[in-house]
Amino acid sequence: MLCFCLESVLSARVRIGVAREIKTDEYRVALTPAGARELVQKGHDVLVEAGAGDGSAMPDDDYVRAGAEIVSLDDVWAKSELLLKVKEPIAAEYPRLREDLVLFTYLHIAADEPLTRALVGSGVRAVAYETVETPDRRLPLLAPMSEIAGRLAPQAGAYFLEKPLGGRGILIGGVPGVQPGRVLVLGGGVVGYNAAVIAIGLGAQVTILDKSIDRMRYLDEILSGRVSTVMSSTLQIETMIGEADLVIGAVLVPGARAPKLVTRAMLKDMKQGSVIVDVAIDQGGCVETARPTTHTDPVYEVDGVIHYCVANMPGGVPVTSTKALTNATLPYVEEIADHGLAEAVARDKALANGVNVLDGKITYEPVAEAHGLDYTPLDDVLPLAAA
């Protein structure tokens, strides 16, 4: 069978490809030269598409010195057995997907049915960074980008609150004698915590809404009581959203569509020129009026409210993001390369949770539910018994 032939190849010397990102305004790369060197030293071949690291200030020469080979667009897709990316494939890349390829990247396919169907139809083995989940519910490969996006959100919101940019004209930190801006953070996870840290640092008055009392106790303790924590509900959001100058959507349901916490009807209660930053936009957004935007064209206005919905916020700081991403993903890349996908997921339940599509079947239930498609448990497709 195909899967066992592929495993026998992957368990030896593996060709690991690093594709150049072609999504609009995406400057990250999936592997640093330092990461490439680690893989080469372990006996693997690293194929880097020409110019893949340019946006992260990591030129081809740095990869060559690390022992990688610089190859063309066609070769990185055709010759790689394990392909590393940052963002999900876009339509132009769908024809390059194939059944003997392991694709390891952020996918967010619960919010993208065309991509889901392309992955299923190609037979590719698609492993999503964002659904790799440890037994204690941590998301180790999503966390670093969530930290960065969370820290960028108040910066972006503060910027677009300026009047010349369409905002209300609020200095988020205020000045002595003038009240600071009010920031409402929806969700107290990694994004929400990091957003609160930066918003506090800017001098804002910060409130976090969350549904977990334990999490709110933790946030209250770690942030030394510098934020208000409030139990989240529809009524509470309706009540508080009108007071906010900046709303940051920071909710996450791993691998599934984000819940719509802010409806269009709520916008009429918001201040004219206030700003929403929907960090959950990769998963469909937690604001009813949210649609993906780019760094080049980041905002739009609905009912007098500025919406910032950049779908790859960490891509705006690619030097930091690329290093943080490689720090997190490299151990899992090594697992797959050293042991093959079947044995790697048998050894590591967290990695098994990352397998979204395998051999033409959807193996991550929230994705199947999001699109009304058939779900097949992973161990029905790939026996999860370590050799």
Tokens of 255: 């691998």
* 162 Rama class: left (phi>0) / alpha (psi -120 to 50) / beta: beta
Q: How open is the CA angle 205-209-212, to the nearest 5 degrees? A: 135
Three-class secondary structure of residue 17 per DSSP:
strand
The reply to whether 108 belongs to the active site is yes
Contact residues for 201 (Cβ-Cβ < 8 A; gap 6+): none
Three-class secondary structure of residue 279 per DSSP:
helix
What residues form DSSP beta bridges with 262? 287
* Catalytic, out of 44, 108, 307, 371: 108
* 321 Rama class: left (phi>0) / alpha (psi -120 to 50) / beta: alpha
* Catalytic, out of 282, 338, 339, 348: 282
**Spatial distance between the Cα atoms of 80 and 71, rounded to a whole number of angstroms:** 11
Contact 210, 231 (CB under 8 A): yes
The reply to whether 112 belongs to the active site is no
Instruction: Give catalytic residue positions.
Output: 108, 282
